[in-house]
Amino acid sequence: MATGMFPGIRTVAAAEPVVLRVVSVTDPGENEIRQEIARMFEKLHPDIKVQLLPVSDRVTEQLVRIAGGDPPDVLYLNPFFFRSFVRQSILLDLTPYVRRDGLDTSKLYSSFVQQLQDDGKLYAMPFEVTSIAMLYNQSAFDEVGLPLLPTKWNDDRWNWKALVEYGRKLTRDRNGDNKIDQWAIGLVLGALDQITYPFVFQNGGKIFDDKTNRFLLNSKESVEALQWIADLINKEKIARAPIWGGDAFLNEQVTMFPFGRWLKQFQSAKFAWNAAPLPKQRQAATMLVWLAYGIAASSPHKEQAWEFLKFLISPEVQVLNTLRGQALSALPELEQHVLFQNAPPRGHYQVFADGIAFAQPVPYADNDAAVSGEIWNALYPVWLGRRSAQEAMDSIASKVESLLTESKKGMVSPTKK
């Protein structure tokens, strides 16, 4: 294995085989990739056996094991609960290990690494990252004579107005029964990070003020974006709000679908498709979503777990994971890897990679579940056309600000690449 980029990767010997327990997922396809990575690691470390622990509720199930004195060694982390794990002292500070082994974290996306730090300490290692881009059905575009979407994030031609104009042509009755059966865009409206917040950022809006914890989704810029999303559904009638947008996209019920580079499920599509930037408004903007792994502070196998984390960011593992349809590699120098550039559909990888420079982190409060719950409950009648975005956001402003005040540090300040 090539180790020049990551000095210090070494075999950890033990008198008896060590069972290293690593949190995984229940999705069969993704778990199969994790199994392959585990077997690769075991070949290099014959004294370590990796046991994957698939979980469906990634927060609760990990917390239950930790609270019960049965912690996994390697924890699965994403932006939605990472900070709360840090605050609860669940995660091991990796900074001493990085310094000891001379690990060069500058080889990783800096905006990703910054999200894994707290008070100058590193609590997790990056594994994969993605921006949210627009998947689109090229065959459907061809059928109505529309040009393919631009590939550059700062292309002024691809904006909110253009999306609506495209949407009017793409929304249609395909079987002649006088009922719409193809919508322009599918919106998974419960996914605040995937749908709602990127459009808010595009209009110059914010979710919170990162210094004062003021709620800003009721600001002019934010409300304009929220109302625009609702109008796509209720006024323009070019958007559909499916329970799972990926299925609607595969079934050709929607022609565009904002999503990250988790593309394994779309490899079976029976039509030509690709990825494009999200449309811009006042500025180009998207969301930074990631997966990282950390070590439980109570793990009895910290050294072995650290070896596993270093292995996850080796080029071999990063290439394997990405080529199997998972998110972008955490190593930006692999952006130009010939296998990534040629991966079908050709050109999509660069769209997601270029989006990192325009991506803002998931807005996060320590009590994120309560804050996000308030926002989602208030937005639901907006999406149904029963309430204006301004009224809905004004109605929860004081409640959300109270929740942010209760949070130890409130909003985690967004950082750019």
Kindly state whether residue 105 falls inside one of the protein's structural domains.
Answer: yes
Kindly state whether residue 397 falls inside one of the protein's structural domains.
Answer: no
Q: How confident is the model at residue 265 (pLDDT cuts 50, 70, 90)?
A: confident
- Whole-number Å distance between alpha carbons of 29 and 50: 18
| pLDDT, tens only, 307-317 | 999 999 999 99
Kindly state whether residue 307 falls inside one of the protein's structural domains.
Answer: yes
Category of 204 on φ-ψ map: left (φ > 0), alpha (ψ -120 to 50) or beta? left
CATH of the domain at 119: 3.40.190.10
- Whole-number Å distance between alpha carbons of 362 and 77: 13
* pLDDT, average across residues 120-142: 97
Q: Which pLDDT does position 301 carry in this prediction? A: 98
Percent of the chain whose pLDDT exceeds 70:
94
Q: Does the structure show a pLDDT above 60 at 417?
A: no
Q: Within its chain, how far is the Cα of 218 from the centroid?
A: 25
**Cα torsion angle, 321, 326, 327, 328, sign:** positive
According to DSSP, residue 381 is labeled: H
Q: Which pLDDT does position 131 carry in this prediction? A: 97
**Cα torsion angle, 322, 328, 334, 339, sign:** positive
- Short-list 295, 258, 283, 260, CA closest to 136: 258
Structure tokens at 170: 């793409």
For helices 220-234 and 160-170, the axis angle rounded to 10 degrees is 10
Structure tokens at 327: 């998110």
The helix/strand count (H/E) of the chain reads as 16, 14
Kindly state whether residue 111 falls inside one of the protein's structural domains.
Answer: yes
Q: How confident is the model at residue 1 (pLDDT cuts 50, 70, 90)?
A: very low
Kindly state whether residue 56 falls inside one of the protein's structural domains.
Answer: yes
| pLDDT, tens only, 186-236 | 998 878 878 899 999 999 999 998 777 899 999 999 999 999 999 999 999
Range of the domain at 87: 18-131+289-345
CB 313 within 8 A of CB 126: yes
Give the total number of structural domains in the chain: 1
CB 102 within 8 A of CB 8: yes
Kindly state whether residue 93 falls inside one of the protein's structural domains.
Answer: yes
Q: Which pLDDT does position 53 carry in this prediction? A: 96
Kindly state whether residue 367 falls inside one of the protein's structural domains.
Answer: no
Kindly state whether residue 43 falls inside one of the protein's structural domains.
Answer: yes
Q: Which pLDDT does position 244 carry in this prediction? A: 73
Category of 410 on φ-ψ map: left (φ > 0), alpha (ψ -120 to 50) or beta? left
Backbone angles phi, psi at 146, to 5 degrees: -95, 140
Structure tokens at 54: 């698939």
